[in-house]
């Protein structure tokens, strides 16, 4: 991917009260198409988003907000769009309580490997939630979608990777988009709720190599990211509907 695609002036939204808010448009696919702007936006937490920034997000074309956080996170920091008059608000708890006691099994692995292992396990254990997320994206509704967790890195990064894979964006580009989080967070932070007592340094990472290992797992285990989506119950019609929203 060229640097210009990463640094496209449309990539970062002019939102000051939330971090890591960026559009998934402008990425070339393997067959020469390009992902659409104003359709899918990934972001960090929205609990501090001002009224002005909320309107900026709506003016960007966003009609649905998808919160990927756990119930206890939402209770501690309610989403400003929870009862918004002009946006649909949907909760899809990505982790649930399935990873409350998660610890890296391979103590000698690199930080990138440990985080990739968490992602791979998350994709398997939370597959039913990802299927629900994709069903929300496939809904025939007007307007774009913004999805977020806390830092917009882990849960958000996995969902963004699957969306770009649906569009046909090459794996290196998907990995580079994941790595952009390092440039968009003032204080890069991971989803500490997985292990609040001993979060682990690896949870702070966002190296493209981590996503490369995760995509490699999907290729080896399910044939491809699309094979994974079909395995967890995402229908061909839903994949086609999402792809039509992603591409011009």
Total structural domains within the chain = 1
Distance (Å, whole) CA 166 – CA 60: 22
pLDDT at 140: 78
Distance (Å, whole) CA 248 – CA 236: 19
Question: Where in 92-158 does DSSP place strands (E)?
Answer: 144-148
SS3 84: coil
> Does a structural domain hold residue 4?
no
Distance (Å, whole) CA 175 – CA 159: 13
> Does a structural domain hold residue 9?
no
Q: What domain range includes position 141?
A: 20-246
SS3 132: helix
User: Residue 51 CB: number of other CB atoms within 10 A?
Assistant: 9
Residue 132 maps to which CATH number?
Answer: 3.90.190.10
Copy the structure tokens of residue 25. 């448009």
> Look-up: residue for tokens 């001993």?
198
- What CA–CA distances, in Å, run from 56 to 22, 84, 110, 170? 13, 14, 40, 30
> Does a structural domain hold residue 125?
yes
pLDDT at 190: 45
> Does a structural domain hold residue 5?
no
Distance (Å, whole) CA 111 – CA 200: 9
Residue-level pLDDT, tens digit, the chain, 248 residues: 455 788 899 999 999 999 999 999 999 999 999 999 999 999 999 999 999 999 999 999 999 999 999 999 999 999 999 999 999 999 999 999 998 877 777 777 888 898 999 999 999 999 999 999 999 999 977 789 999 999 999 999 999 999 999 999 999 999 999 999 988 886 544 444 434 334 455 566 799 999 999 999 999 999 999 999 999 999 999 999 999 999 97
pLDDT at 159: 98
């Amino acid at each position: 991917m060229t640097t210009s695609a990463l640094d496209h002036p449309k990539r970062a939204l002019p939102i000051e009260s939330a971090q890591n808010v960026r559009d998934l448009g402008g990425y070339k696919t393997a067959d020469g198409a390009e992902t659409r702007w104003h359709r899918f936006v990934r972001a960090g937490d929205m609990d501090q988003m001002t009224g002005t920034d909320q309107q900026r997000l709506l003016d960007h074309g966003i009609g649905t907000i998808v919160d990927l956080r756990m119930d206890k996170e939402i209770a501690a920091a309610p989403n400003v769009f929870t009862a918004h008059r002009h946006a649909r608000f949907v909760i899809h708890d990505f982790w649930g309580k399935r990873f409350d006691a998660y610890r890296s099994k391979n103590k000698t692995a690199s930080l990138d490997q440990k985080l990739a292992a968490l992602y791979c396990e998350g994709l398997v254990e939370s597959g039913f939630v990802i299927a629900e997320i994709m069903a929300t994206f496939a809904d025939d509704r007007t307007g774009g979608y913004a999805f977020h967790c806390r830092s917009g890195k882990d849960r958000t990064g996995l969902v963004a990777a699957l969306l770009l894979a649906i569009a046909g964006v090459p794996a290196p580009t998907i990995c580079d988009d994941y790595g952009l989080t390092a440039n968009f967070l003032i204080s890069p932070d991971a989803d500490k709720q997985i292990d609040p007592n001993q979060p682990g340094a690896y949870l702070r990472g966002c190296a493209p190599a981590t996503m490369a290992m995760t995509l490699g797992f999907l290729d080896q285990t399910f044939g491809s990211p699309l094979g994974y989506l079909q395995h967890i119950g995402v229908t061909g019609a839903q994949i086609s509907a999402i792809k039509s929203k992603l591409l011009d």
